[in-house]
Amino acid sequence: MSADILIVDDESDIRDLVAGLLEDEGYRPRTAGNSDEALASLEARRPGLVFLDIWLQGSRLDGLQLLDIIKEQHPDLPVVMISGHGNIETAVSAIRRGAYDFIEKPFKADRLILVADRALEASRLKREVKDLRSRSVQASRIVGRSPATNQLRQVIDRVAPTNARVLVTGFPGVGKELTARTIHAMSSRSSGPFVVINAATITPDTMESELFGVEGSDGKGRRVGALEEAHGGTLYIDEVADMPQETQNRILRVLVDQNFQRVGGATRVHVDVRIVSSSSRDLPSAIAAGKFREDLFHRLGVVPIRVPALAERREDVPELIEFFMDQICGTTGLPKRTIADDALAVLQSHDWPGNVRQLRNNVERLMILAGGDSDMEITASMLPSEIGTLVPTTPTGAGGEKLMGLALREAREIFEREYLTAQINRFSGNISRTAEFIGMERSALHRKLKSLGIGS
Ligand SMILES: Nc1ncnc2c1ncn2[C@@H]1O[C@H](COP(=O)(O)OP(=O)(O)OP(=O)(O)O)[C@@H](O)[C@H]1O
Q: Please write the tens of the pLDDT for every residue from 8-30.
A: 999 999 999 999 999 999 999 99
Cα 64 to Cα 52, 55, 90, 360, 364: the distances in Å are 9, 8, 9, 50, 51
* CA gap 363, 25 in Å, rounded: 50
Per the CB < 8 A criterion, the answer to whether 192 and 234 are in contact is: yes
The pLDDT-based confidence of 395 (bands split at 50, 70, 90) is very low
First to last CA, the chain: 56
- Ligand 1 center from residue 357 Cα (angstroms): 6
354 lines ligand 1 (CB under 6 A): no
Q: Where are the alpha helices (DSSP H) in 313-387?
A: 317-332, 341-349, 355-370
Is 313's C-beta closer than 6 angstroms to any atom of ligand 1? no
* Predicted confidence (pLDDT) per residue in 320-330, tens digit: 999 999 888 88
Residue 325 CA to ligand 1 center (angstroms) comes to 15
Q: Is the Cβ atom of 153 under 6 angstroms away from ligand 1?
A: no
Highest mean pLDDT among 116-120, 254-258, 347-351, 434-438: 116-120
For the chain, domains (ranges, CATH) are 4-134 (3.40.50.2300), 159-307 (3.40.50.300), 311-387 (1.10.8.60), 401-452 (1.10.10.60)
pLDDT on residue 379: 86
Question: Does the beta carbon of 237 sit less than 6 angstroms from any atom of ligand 1?
Answer: no
The model's pTM: 0.67
Identify the pLDDT of residue 136: 47
pLDDT tens profile 47-60: 999 999 998 888 99
* Any ligand 1 atom below 6 A from CB of 348: no
Range name among 93-107, 167-181, 361-375 with the lowest pLDDT average: 361-375
| Least confident piece of the model among 14-28, 31-45, 154-168, 387-401 | 387-401
Interatomic CA distance for residues 253 and 312, integer angstroms: 37
Query: What's the pLDDT score for residue 335?
Result: 85
pLDDT at residue 310, as a whole number = 95
Q: Residue 264 in contact with residue 306, Cβ under 8 Å?
A: no
- Number of the ligand 1 atom closest to the C-alpha atom of 307: 21
Q: Is 70 exceeded by the pLDDT of residue 251?
A: yes
**CA-CA distance, 234 to 274, in Å (whole number)?**
5
| CB-based burial label for 123 (10 Å; 0-12, 13-18, 19+) | middle
Confidence of residue 259 (pLDDT cuts 50, 70, 90): confident
Cβ of 374 less than 6 Å from ligand 1? no
Ligand 1 centroid–CA 137 distance in Å is: 12
Residue 290 confidence (pLDDT) above 80: yes
Atom of ligand 1 nearest to the CA of 174: 21
Q: How far is the CA of 176 from the centre of ligand 1 (A)?
A: 6
Query: In sequence order, what E strands does 242-320 have?
Result: 259-261, 268-270, 274-279, 303-306
Q: Categorize the per-residue pLDDT at 206 as very low, low, confident or very high, splitting at 50, 70 and 90.
A: confident
Q: Does the Cβ of 305 fall within 6 Å of ligand 1?
A: no
- Picking from 182, 186, 300, 192, the residue whose alpha carbon sits closest to that of residue 241 is 300
